[in-house]
Structure 1
Amino acid sequence: RYRGLTLVLTFLSYTSYHLSRKPISIVKSQLHPNCSALGPNPHNDSNSSTWCSWAPFDGDNYKELFGALDNAFLVAYAIGMFISGIFGERLPLRYYLAGGMVLSGLFTALFGLGYFWDIHVLWYFIIVQVCNGLVQTTGWPAVVACVGNWFGKGKRGLIMGIWNSHTSVGNILGSLIAGAWVSSAWGLSFIVPGIIITAMGIICFFFLVEYPEDVGCSPPLHHDAGGVTSNEKDPEAVTSNEGPLSISGQSSADRSNSPKEPVEEPEAISFLGALRIPGVVEFSLCLLFAKLVSYTFLYWLPLYIVNVGEFLGRVRRERAWQGEHLFTPLLSLAAHFSAKEAGDLSTLFDVGGILGGIFAGLISDYTGGRATTCCVMLVIAAPMLFLYNHVGQNGIGTSIAMLIVCGALVNGPYALITTAVSADLGTHESLKGNAKALSTVTAIIDGTGSIGAALGPLLAGLISPTGWNNVFYMLIAADVLACLLLARVVVKEVRGWCGCIARKRGYVRT
């Protein structure tokens, strides 16, 4: 019962976190819309091409300013994430999570209030984004630590793959909620999600249970063979069990004395100590590039859909004027989408992310190869990104199919690393049962990934004026680098499988 409650509450908590991050990508196209499509300027100003844009995003450098907004949030998030894990290990998770959610709701709403307060100063939006990025770092280490405290390693990949759909569910709900007001009063696209995450924070404060021991439940086993595996791989335990009193005398004496000895509270692991855990560095660097790709889609996909639709629409009209419309099937099928329609269509990328996270967790549980599963999906994702850029606008059906496939392949490895892999490494056997490392390891992995999340939208803002093709080449290169960084861990997993097969064959022969 408490396990289910923890899963539901943490799921809804992080859904609300992502729900509050999504509106900025939907509102971008409304802050700088195509004013010529709305008719003549009713104000009769000299600059008629941007009369409907929201200052300071009404200039030709609006893409760079949007990139600055994204980067303000994501750089603050990346920096704060490394600190957040340290605080998460030392503060009550329930207070930490609830306080962060209330503050996140406040700063999200403040961005939207800029519409009603008629604020046109760039620094206001930058400062709000920085503060929001810092307080949102409270979410991920806290929710992963809570789930890791309640669930062992057995089916962690599948459970966390399903649970991690909160990221995509939050993005979908955030897109739909923001899209409801983006054309009428875009400030509400931020205020409503801010109210939702604040309300969810209050609920978590009253009902979230951090540890099984808090309600009299036994903690889960984090390794396949329980304490036997830990003792076999702990040289100190093996040494202490050697000698004439190893089994009979000493163990019985330890049993009689153990209830009288106070149990020491394990110390929280240091930052460098967490980096020494095998696999932390490799998966952290891989997540940097995987998250770069994912967050570029998160922040720029709706604008890409609008811009490419407008471009193809112009080319279609020009060729139709020249009598070539019957010979350009790709362009004749291209659709122009409004800001709301582009936001709704972009949610299909997150639908694919849900499926990809579940499949990645299921396959990695079955094979035991977390790194190999990530690597295979990343390898397939690279050509799919290339295809989406070239044929993704070839009709609505093709666009839907390509968005779902790309979402699954891009977000699958990202979801697996930030959930099951982080929980595995945070409860690694080298820690000898110290659960105090879980939040720190999670923060290191996600913090490193957040550097990529900051770089992706920034690079997209800088590169997109040269053409969207170049943005996709950048994403493909990042995808390949993410795959290469896992090569050592993949080789280790493959060798483990080969050794296991060899042992089975040897056993059969005897």
Structure 2
Amino acid sequence: MQATRTDQPSASPVAPPPPLSLQTRMVLLSYFAYFFYYFCRKHLGVATPAMVNSGISDTTIGWVQTAYGVCYAIGQFLSGALGDRLGPRIALTTGMILSGIASLAFGLFPIVGVLVIALSLNGLFQSTGWSNSCKVVAEWVNPVNRGKVMGFWTTCYIFGSIAANVVAGTILARYGWHHVFLFTGITVAVVGVIQGIFLINRPADRGYAIELEERSSPATDNTRSGFMLMIRQPAVLLLGLAYTGLKYVRYTVFSWSPYYLVSSIGLAEESAAYASNGLEIGGILGLLLGGWVGDRFFPGNRVRLALFALIGMIGAILLYRVTSGTGGLWGNLIGLGAIGLFLYIADAIVSGIAAQDIGGAENTASAAGIINGIGSTAQLFSGIVPIWLKQRWGWDAVFISFIVIAFFSCLAILPVARKGKLTKA
């Protein structure tokens, strides 16, 4: 006897949620991925004073920083779209290995030609980090807990930046600037291999499901349309414009604060590397405080908190502008810490949490890539413009440029902050 055929689809079983231990493991893997990205991002800034003393001009290094910014901005758009289509594991693994190789190349062949080519292309490789790390968190964390988790998770680029400064500064003092690029290159490449072995793109890859936002449409493959969907969102574009001010301030301080502290304040090279950590030390408090305050008082639209933080950052820059010259080691550490407190609250919301809120789990990498791509255009100016301003009008002109572009960011973010609720597109 033939079995009776039915056209009614059988009910598919509901996938269980992933165990907390697995969720935690994926969040920590992405945390340490972006933590170590900074080892091949901060090394050039720390090594700059010694490189200038060895005969490489600060103008040359400024142009390399600018070329890095061009590659980084272009790469943000590509990396976000590819991350949503192929998954973050491939993007993170490939980006970290190639970034490590670029740094190794300059460490092994420390000539200007390799500096220009390898460390400019490093911007392209570094661009794979943020959008794809954010996507891992968006896939594995329920949106209800996103603010708190991201408040912790975004400390990865604070602690990574601090560790990169300390490690590079120590190697610089003991072995010379060539070895800075050798050590950081090897470290980042090894961590990239670890990501390729252990990272899981999404819970569904292991038969689990996690409660996320409603999908835009069951019939729509958002891995294909996500980039075009996100780039048509006015909120995404405005956040990208607002991010230019944060990127300009952050990367100018990253690239030039050790040089400023040595040439203007008179600190030793190793002390300048440590003192420049003030931005990140203040940022740790800002990220943890911002995650809690955002969930507690701005759950519908955390961008409002980012606007207040931008205003606070302008005030901190104004104060540091008049106190840095006489503050010494501790005064500069505290002054940079005050700037970092407000900067990182706004930075984490604009580039990460808001991108997750608008993009949802399936389009987070595209939204984050677009916001970071637009914002990273400011890195084109954080390389050569500060040196040009310093040479023409002194370091005070650099601080004035911070204030002007931060005010522009406030204007750009205002329409998004005025929304009653920031929802998934």
Matched, 1:452 2:385: no
Letter in 2 for 1:379: I
1:105 to 100, 105, 127: 100
2:46 to 26, 33, 52: 26
Q: Distance in 1 between matches of 2:262 and 2:225?
A: 47
Q: 1:202 to 1:267 in 2, by over 3 A?
A: closer
Match of residue 11 from structure 2: none
Q: What are the Cα deviations for residues 11-57 of structure 1, in whole angstroms up to 9, with x where unaligned?
A: 11011111211111111100123xxxxxxxxxxxxxxxxxxx23xx2
Matched, 1:84 2:79: yes
Matched, 1:218 2:174: no
Letter in 1 for 2:385: L
Counterpart contact for 2:162–2:280, Cα < 8 Å: yes
Q: What are the Cα deviations for residues 414-469 of structure 1, in whole angstroms up to 9, with x where unaligned?
A: 12222211111111xxxxxxx43221111101111111122223311211112000
Match of residue 16 from structure 2: none
> Following superposition of structure 1 onto structure 2, how do residues 421-436 of structure 1 map, counting pairs within 5 Å?
421-427=354-360, 435-436=361-362
TM-score (norm 1): 0.74
Letter in 2 for 1:492: K
Counterpart contact for 1:101–1:197, Cα < 8 Å: yes
Q: 1:381 to 1:264 in 2, by over 3 A?
A: closer
Task: Report the CA distance between 1:263 and its aligned residue.
Answer: 8.4
> Following superposition of structure 1 onto structure 2, how do residues 330-349 of structure 1 map, counting pairs within 5 Å?
336-349=266-279
Task: Report % sequence identity.
Answer: 27
SS in 1 for 2:401: helix
Letter in 1 for 2:39: L
Q: 1:439 to 1:32 in 2, by over 3 A?
A: same
1:300 to 256, 262, 284: 256
Instruction: List gaps (5 residues or longer) in structure 1.
Output: 34-52, 237-261, 310-335, 428-434, 498-510
Q: Distance in 2 between matches of 1:114 and 1:22?
A: 19
SS in 1 for 2:128: helix
Q: What are the Cα deviations for residues 163-221 of structure 1, in whole angstroms up to 9, with x where unaligned?
A: 11111111111111111122432111111111111111111111111111122222232
Q: Distance in 1 between matches of 2:220 and 2:302?
A: 33
Matched, 1:400 2:333: yes
Q: What are the Cα deviations for residues 397-416 of structure 1, in whole angstroms up to 9, with x where unaligned?
A: 32222121111112221122
Match of residue 437 from structure 1: 363
Counterpart contact for 2:277–2:333, Cα < 8 Å: no
Number of positions where the alignment pairs a residue of Structure 1 with one of Structure 2: 397
Instruction: List gaps (5 residues or longer) in structure 2.
Output: 1-20
Matched, 1:279 2:235: yes
Matched, 1:189 2:171: no
> Following superposition of structure 1 onto structure 2, how do residues 26-425 of structure 1 map, counting pairs within 5 Å?
26-33=46-53, 53-54=54-55, 57=56, 62-115=57-110, 119=111, 122-183=112-173, 184-222=175-213, 266-309=222-265, 336-366=266-296, 367-368=298-299, 369-392=301-324, 393-425=326-358
Q: Distance in 2 between matches of 1:418 and 1:410?
A: 12
Task: Report the CA distance between 1:278 and its aligned residue.
Answer: 4.9
TM-score (norm 2): 0.88
Matched, 1:474 2:393: no
Match of residue 45 from structure 1: none
Counterpart contact for 2:89–2:199, Cα < 8 Å: yes
